Structure 1
Amino acid sequence: MKVSQLQEELIQYATSIGVDKIGFTTAAPFHELKNRLRRQQQLGYQSGFEESDIELRTEPLKLLDDAESIIAIAIAYPSRMQDAPQGKKGERRGIFCRASWGVDYHTAVRERLQLIEAWLQERVPNVKVKSMVDTGELVDRAVAERAGIGWSGKNCSIITPEFGSYVYLGEIMTNIPFAPDTPIEDECGDCNLCIDVCPTGAIVAPGQLNSQRCIAFLTQTKGFLPDEFRSKIGNRLYGCDTCQTVCPKNKGKLNWIHEEFKPDPEIAKPLLQPLLSISNKEFKSKFSHVSGSWRGKKPIQRNAILALAHFKEESAMPELVQVLQKDERPVLRGTAAWAIGKIGTNEAEGILLAAKKLEQDEEVLAEIEKGLTLLNQ
């Protein structure tokens, strides 16, 4: 079979298995990206979650030595929730970012990539394939951009004409020499909305992100959240969508396409107070299928405490006191102390002073002091 015919049939097959967009590019090095990544590294802008070896991230032939091309795929996910519950006093809710609604995208994208691999293996003797999604060495967005899936927006997301930036990405390297697609022209123009509204100023320049300041990264950390960001995360439990929701290219892109990504409102927007006492078993049962659970319950519980402080939710005081007095994890005890001071009820000072007498962890003691200081402001 001719490669051109194979390519056409592959495009049709990909559509039949729930791939919303497919593109092709060469396995040539990503030279410009290499320079950008080196600069990011020098500036300390990387998150630490990504592959540290820049050569592996930019040289496809180091991953598959006879690669000829890369197949890029995109799968759209919803931008709106149907029947979203509204939080109210006494029943405050947190929010998971849209990329963590529904089934874990790593699983969903990987399943489609594996189906494409099997399809190619049936048709091409001695075919070689290597696929990845998100946690692989290659930079998904760079591959998608070069393969014509979309352009790289100023918010560092791939923006597609059809689905906006609400797409999951994945790729397959192969030794089949598919014809490359033409990259899409950048349509951001002089719009800077995403830069202007970023809550922490993490988008330092068009297409340049300081991950260390990005709320999407900060919500995934496990230690104490730095003071300057505590008032910025609002009720976000995992991830941040601000730079996507303000993007004009996302207007009207609902993307209610795949059942597996449609959120359960009680999981995507859960009540905050029950999260403070949720057991490992309960957490796993409720949240293990969503990508936002990958770091475990501790960061989400810490963020829930910060969200309750953001709302100054007085009804949460009993749960916060319980965490301060009983939780074995210093980060949660300390964050609860800070939150108690932030909420500032009449009994808060007595609670914090009593905890101060019993607490032995230096970091927690420092947070108790911060809570007491907040009471006097």
Structure 2
Amino acid sequence: MTESAEVECVVVGAGAVGLAVARALARAGREVVVLERAGAIGTGISARNSEVIHGGIYYPGGSLKARLCVEGRRMLYTYLDRHGLPHRRCGKLIVANDAAQEAELTRLAERGRANGVEGLTFLTSAEARALEPALRCTSALSSPETGILDAHGFMLSLQGEIEDAGGAIALGSPLIRAEASGRGFALHVGGAAPMRLNARVLVNSAGLSAPAVAARTEGLAPEHVPQAHYAKGNYFSLTGAAPFSRLIYPIPEAAGLGVHLTLDLGGQARFGPDVEWIDPLSTDEIDYAVDARRGDGFYAAIRSYWPALPDGALQPAYAGVRPKLGGPAAASDFVISGPEAHGLAGLVNLFGIESPGLTASLAIADEVAARLSEAA
């Protein structure tokens, strides 16, 4: 027999953003349960990224990505410092190697400054090489506010705060469907102990599965459920010592930021992601294996800014998938779809929360909490 329980707020998805939303709601005194279909927190998008704290340079002015990345980055550094969590404000260089790329670098700097990104400075080739002797470029844009963090440590801290505030994480608990009514939502939850939850507030932060979760919300009009597009990004790790102390990024490319060099907190270098559009039947069918042959294309891209990359130095590492709301030819913003958009009181759907979602997570959480408070 399926049990039934009452709860004020349910958040679907225990990635960085879902946990941040649940923390914000719990700290505001609301009763919160997080439903996570996997057996642990942070096993989806949040476990398969570069763990970069983004400055906020790339995103169009006035977009949610621009505003929430800059706000979220500031909040994230404060949070990590306050909680003593591992991170490093290592900075990054975006590099140009011809006149066309230098013009794009100027546009990026103008956009970043308009977005409120602090400390952006142009470097000549000699100045950049003084910082990073292995680098080749004609000029570079320095972003000192870019950094790296331990994403899982951050999520564990969020989980602890949720639980300290009286919230709960229900692992192995997929949301099968939701039924909207005037009093909230009847949530049918699967797993080893299926149950029904009656909630006044429902936040869909299911990442790659967010459109599918929305489609299973009875009462939500189909026009408020976007089509999902998936961009797989493959990463390769470097055998041997990292040649750089900062992150190195080329000029952005379509649907991504180019094959860039990032560092983990142990100093290991990795390169990626590339962009591989995939069309799985469902998110459960996604193949995260990295095809070693894709590394062939990495060498030329990396040698444009690190000519000394040795042959055979790259090894397949891991892959992630970004939820895109537009296909290969379209750029897309974060979408926070609340009652003002779809008319269902208490429902917030988060769509297209890809990079810089980890950086922006605390600001996204405050945005969701504010919209729910305004609608109450």
In the superposition, the TM-score normalised over structure 1's length comes to: 0.27
Q: Which has the higher helix share?
A: 1
Q: Which has the higher contact order (CA 8 A, sep 6+)?
A: 2
Which structure shows the higher strand fraction? Answer: 2
Which of structures 1 and 2 has the bigger CA Rg? 1
TM-score (norm 2): 0.27
